[in-house]
Amino acid sequence: MSSLRVLGGVSVCRDVFGSCLCPSRCRCPAHSNTFHQGAGGSVCTVRKTDYAFEMASSNIRYGGGVSREIGMDLQNLRAQNVCLMTDKKLSLLPPVRAVLESLDKNRVKYKVYDNVRVEPTDASFKDAIAFAKSNSFDVFVAVGGGSVIDTCKAANLYSCHPDADFLDFVNAPIGKGKPITGALKPLIAVPTTAGTGSETTGVAIFDFEPLKAKTGIASRAIRPTLGIVDPLHTLSMPESVAANSGFDVLCHALESYTALPYDQRSPCPPNPLHRPAYQGSNPISDVWSRHALQVVAKYMKRAVRDPEDLEARSSMHLASVFAGIGFGNAGVHLCHGMSYPIAGNVKTHMAKGYGVEHPLVPHGLSVVLTAPAVFNFTAPMCPERHLEAAEILGADVRQVKREDAGPVLADTLRNFLFELQVEDGLGALGYGSDDVPALVKGTVPQERVTKLSPRPHTEEDLSQLFEASMKIY
């Protein structure tokens, strides 16, 4: 007894138990790159694009003061030796103190690593990995922003794979992009910024200094076991950090909502293990991304302008989670792909509010400065989504034509950035036209994200986008 089922528009012969009845020469798409056409099953065609998407996210616990539960969580995990990672500035602030008090109260044994670099590099990752390898940790805890959480993910990964070369799991083409098959230790993430969404995702980003470009590790295997989202921690964010973190949420939501649809992404994986964490926009991620954008529109300006506005900062903390779940499954595209060399090639720009002495372009800032140009470029491929985003951000689109979606969203973003007094383009960070070739060169390897752009692009297109982003007002 058999039935005909449809997966992503592909007819697949299965019995009532779901077993494939296709002849051996024509395997079903759940198990291979091929699919069944016709009643006789005699025609086999290689399927070039994916037909399915997968929803994955960390467990999330949210509530004011919820950090005090972490000691009990570690007891419940029967933790014997905990690695707590943070950075030097945060180690002196209330979020870390709250977590350490909970660990002490519940008599949890731990060691603190507070040498995480804001905007980590391959060298800083390796330093944290060495610390993790030199101790027999059975649980990891990250207290901080995306830099801390990403560093902790890497430390957990490589301490559990001690024989792996550093580039083994790094995204291709910079690394080997090998799948992670071994089990990792539990990781609890306690985000202190409202931006990266790293507590929900299987992504760890760093500057690869030999190429002066960002890359990372992307695998569901490295996502945290639990994200403890305590909105009280966001009250310690300076205004500039709140703004740049919020811009990351904004672009996560916009990029994932406008990303190439999952069933247009190629190649179709021969094994579910090879389906990437960033799969393209899909009906589930759309819900999270759209809602995150609505929260940003309502609360971000308040959260930046008034550090004591608990409602606004709490809402942005949740928006970061919402957007994280969205982009953690759909992915991001050109804003993020282009941001990596912007941050990696930084010259003299010193970011306010971050407490670091080295030149730094905060991640959210490096992402958002190209947003007006990028969404003007991508709009022709899905104008309805670009118009919807503009409307959510406050534009009146009732009389706007589809072909004007790009300029309308770009102008809406410019107004949003201007009201928050964001630097006037890449030129304000010290970049000029002479830097464009290097910025393009640093973007080209970011295929993990750039290929999710809904509009195909050339190096010349990238050059024009960087040029258009030198000044945005």
For the beta sheet containing 59-62, the strands, ordered from the edge strand earlier in sequence to the opposite edge, are: 59-62, 226-229, 187-191, 139-144, 82-85, 110-113
For residue 265, how many other CB atoms are within 10 A of its CB? 24
Q: What is the pLDDT of residue 4?
A: 36
313 pLDDT band, cuts 50/70/90, is very high
Say if residue 32's pLDDT is above 80.
no
Say if residue 239's pLDDT is above 60.
yes
Q: What is the pLDDT of residue 119?
A: 87
Structure tokens at 123: 């060298």
Say if residue 18's pLDDT is above 80.
no
Whether 82 and 104 have beta carbons less than 8 Å apart is answered as no
The CATH number of the domain covering residues in 59-229: 3.40.50.1970
What value does the mean pLDDT of the chain take?
89
Sort residue 18 into left (φ over 0), alpha (ψ -120 to 50) or beta. Answer: left
Say if residue 163's pLDDT is above 50.
yes
What residues contact 81, with CB distance under 8 A and at least 6 apart? 109, 110, 111, 135, 136, 137, 138, 139
Considering only the top CATH level, what class is 239-468? mainly alpha
Q: What is the pLDDT of residue 418?
A: 97
211 pLDDT band, cuts 50/70/90, is confident
- Distance separating alpha carbons of residues 442 and 361, to the nearest angstrom: 15
pLDDT tens digits for 69-82?
999 999 999 999 99
Q: Supply angle C-alpha 465, 121, 216, rounded to 5.
A: 65
Place of tokens 């290689």: 46
Q: Where in the chain are all domains bearing CATH 1.20.1090.10? A: 239-468
31 pLDDT band, cuts 50/70/90, is very low
Of 68-82, 143-157, 206-220, 439-453, the poorest mean pLDDT is in 206-220
23 pLDDT band, cuts 50/70/90, is very low
Residue length, the chain? 473
Q: What is the pLDDT of residue 10?
A: 38
Taking residues 345-358, report their average pLDDT: 85
Say if residue 105's pLDDT is above 70.
yes
CA gyration radius, the chain: 22
Q: What is the pLDDT of residue 347?
A: 85
- Distance separating alpha carbons of residues 164 and 217, to the nearest angstrom: 14
Helix (H, G, I), strand (E, B) or coil at 136: coil
Burial of 125 (0-12, 13-18, 19+ CB in 10 A): buried
Q: What is the pLDDT of residue 21?
A: 36
- Distance separating alpha carbons of residues 329 and 43, to the nearest angstrom: 33
Sort residue 331 into left (φ over 0), alpha (ψ -120 to 50) or beta. Answer: left
- Distance separating alpha carbons of residues 447 and 170, to the nearest angstrom: 13
Q: What is the pLDDT of residue 443?
A: 94
Taking residues 59-75, report their average pLDDT: 96
Place of tokens 């390796």: 126
- Distance separating alpha carbons of residues 466 and 472, to the nearest angstrom: 11
46 pLDDT band, cuts 50/70/90, is low
Taking residues 410-432, report their average pLDDT: 96
Q: What is the pLDDT of residue 15?
A: 37
Comparing CA positions, the residue from 250, 472, 445 lying closest to residue 341 is 445
pLDDT tens digits for 123-134?
999 999 999 999
Q: Where in the chain are all domains bearing CATH 3.40.50.1970? A: 59-229
pTM for this structure?
0.85
Q: What is the pLDDT of residue 235?
A: 87
For the chain, percent of residues with pLDDT exceeding 70: 90
Of 15-24, 222-231, 252-261, the poorest mean pLDDT is in 15-24
